[in-house]
Amino acid sequence: MRKPFIAGNWKMNNTVGESVKLARELLDAGSFKNKVLIAPPFTSLSEVSKIVKGTELLLGAQNMASVESGAHTGEISVLMLKDLDVNAVILGHSERRHIYGESNEIINTKVKLALHHGLDVILCVGETLEERESGNAEAVVKKQLVEGLKDVSPADIAKVVVAYEPVWAIGTGKTASPEDAQAIHLFIRNEVKAIYGEKEASELIIQYGGSVKPGNVVTLMAQEDIDGALVGGAALKAETFVPIMDFNK
């Protein structure tokens, strides 16, 4: 039985004060029957970390550098995230891939570095509209998955969550139909089975991301291979995130 896992990706939103307020609201209102994580911007991690400490609300970062330390102006190290008791890091988000040019190779380096330091990883994969319309969605997702997980050990795969986020559904209000999302989720599970085996694949949490809202979460999560959600816009307000994080599977 895979425990549903809902993650809120706040992206480049919320000052420290706004982040603290939202984290408190979630703690007050949530039932935490599902696994729940929030990923505030780097500048808010320190204060939010103090609030969620000892609670069931997990703390995530939205990205990290591909090296541990040194002359990398503007980057944030895995060691700095560990220092703030961050539990997990989102890697390979489509905005990192498409706006900041992150390759599968760079993402793989980050995945291995995060796992090496004991952070869990949410590895994002997903095709663009053009790739979907040209019939290449599965090939693109497979490449992102295989190259993103290269040399990740069978022991470490248990610490990886895959988030399937079709790029055309992110922040657009367009959601993949539950059936289309399920088809890719099953494809991802089968690819993981081919690399790691039956047990690892059956235990893998695969989140769906892309315009998840209180009104569509239940039908999406009802699909057999959809185990949770990575939520952007609707994660920015307690009134929209609480119903998502408390959905009933």
Where in the sequence numbering do the catalytic residues fall? 93, 165
User: Residue 242 CB, nearest distance to ligand PGA (Å)?
Assistant: 15
Interacting residues with ligand PGA (CB under 6 A) = 9, 165, 170-171, 209-212, 230-234
- Identify the sign of the CA torsion 102, 108, 113, 114: positive
User: Residue 156 CB, nearest distance to ligand PGA (Å)?
Assistant: 23
User: Residue 238 CB, nearest distance to ligand PGA (Å)?
Assistant: 16
Closest residue to ligand PGA: CB criterion: 232
Residue with Cβ nearer ligand PGA (57 or 244): 244
Contact 193, 201 (CB under 8 A): yes
Residue with Cβ nearer ligand PGA (78 or 229): 229
DSSP secondary structure code for residue 4 in this structure: P
Helix (H, G, I), strand (E, B) or coil at 149: coil
Q: Count Cα neighbours of 90 within 13 Å in the Cβ-side half-sphere.
A: 33
Nearest to 113 by CA among 143, 74, 81, 136: 81
Q: Say if residue 101 is exposed, middle or buried (CB neighbours under 10 Å; 0-12, 13-18, 19+).
A: exposed
Q: How far apart are alpha carbons 131 and 110 in whole angstroms?
A: 25
Q: Which two tokens stand for residue 86?
A: 């961050």
Residue with Cβ nearer ligand PGA (124 or 201): 124
User: Residue 207 CB, nearest distance to ligand PGA (Å)?
Assistant: 9
